[in-house]
Amino acid sequence: MGVTLYSPAAPRGEFMPWLATLPPRATICLPPVALRPAPLRQYWRTFRLGRAARRDGIDLYHGLSHEIPRDLPRTGIPGVVTFHDLLFERHPELFPAIDRLSYAWRYRWSARHATAIVAVSGQTRDDLVAWYGVDPEDVTIIPPPRDPAFGRPVPAAAAAAVRSRLGLPATYLLSVGTLERRKNHRVLVEALALLDPGTTPALVLVGRDGGEAKALAAAAAARGVAVRILHHVASNDLPAVYQDASLFLYPSLFEGFGMPIVEALSAGVPVITSAGGCFPEAGGPSTRYVTSTDAVGLAAAIRDILDDPMLAARMRDDGRRWAGRFDATALAAPLMALYHSLLH
């Protein structure tokens, strides 16, 4: 079986090692040269990919991010669409009006016209039901696969080199995600301000600045909380950053899935994250869950785990086992079953 990958732009350098693992019959197709400028790539994706798929002899099309082409149904090619979240519907205040209109126009149409729908979590399925009237029986839940690199132990010398290069403290609490309001990093500062700074590791925040970095740094300084903010960490360095952390903290207000939780569990790091929503799907039974706005409860959970090495060890072991269910090989089976059901 051949695979054709349609991409609006040439793969970035960071993806080249992954491309080397593709099967021999995999083909990468870019837009026609005239449609490669940034403003036109979306037009190609939305209005022209169906006829490109028919021209290329595609038997099944899978839109991996919320959308199938408008011209796909006319080709007779079955179309699968994966939805990661409907965040713009649940929290419209976080998105510009033009983006909300664009997403709603494309995503709602795709949900109605796709042959099959994949949701990355039960939470996303429920949102599709609530906002787009999708029948829950028509949605297959298949989480995204983890990167196995997070579960492979980083050699001590390599880990030390990463710590030195990034200026990481000897011990630290870690949170990974865009520094934006939805990720709710401010509650971390509030929680850590309640703990003894002499016995509590520093907080390391990894993520691009989504508008909150300056305010977070100021809040931490005002509260006497030690924070190290890293906006740019190479993907090859991230496993070492995770594996050296004492705890992983993810107090996000809302997610479609929460892959950083799985990455931390894979790395053998105890996790504290938000109660409710999709978070238990990613975190499993041994992750600690706290109401996302409860700084007092979060501080208590941090102290409980730091003060109990046996509890932390159990969380590490249980977390690694839970993260195994997100191996690509395990998740490929239900996806291939869905494909075969549409082709036969």
Fold of 3-145+328-343: Rossmann fold (3.40.50)
Pick the residue with more confidence: 99 or 23?
Answer: 99
Nearest to 82 by CA among 156, 136, 2, 142: 142
Handedness of CA 244, 188, 283, 117 (dihedral sign): negative
State yes or no: pLDDT of 12 exceeds 90.
no
Task: Report pLDDT for 86.
Answer: 96
Q: Do residues 156 and 164 make contact, with C-beta atoms less than 8 angstroms apart?
A: no
In 3D space, the residue among 237, 187, 244, 259 whose CA is nearest the CA of residue 216 turns out to be 187
> pLDDT tens across 255-312, in order?
999 999 999 999 999 999 999 999 999 999 999 999 999 999 999 999 999 999 999 9
Place 344 in a pLDDT band, splitting at 50, 70 and 90: confident
Which tens digits make up the pLDDT trace of 40-88? Answer: 999 999 999 999 999 999 999 999 999 999 999 999 999 999 999 999 9
Separation in Å, CA 343 to CA 8, 64, 95, 121, 199 = 26, 18, 38, 24, 59
Extents of the domains making up the chain: 3-145+328-343, 148-325
Above 70 in pLDDT, residue 229?
yes
Tell the CATH topology of 148-325.
Rossmann fold (3.40.50)
This prediction's pTM = 0.93
Task: Report the candidate in 161, 238, 245 with the shortest Cα–Cα distance to residue 203.
Answer: 245
The pLDDT value given to residue 1: 65
Does this chain's domain 3-145+328-343 share its CATH topology with 148-325? yes
| Res 237: pLDDT | 96
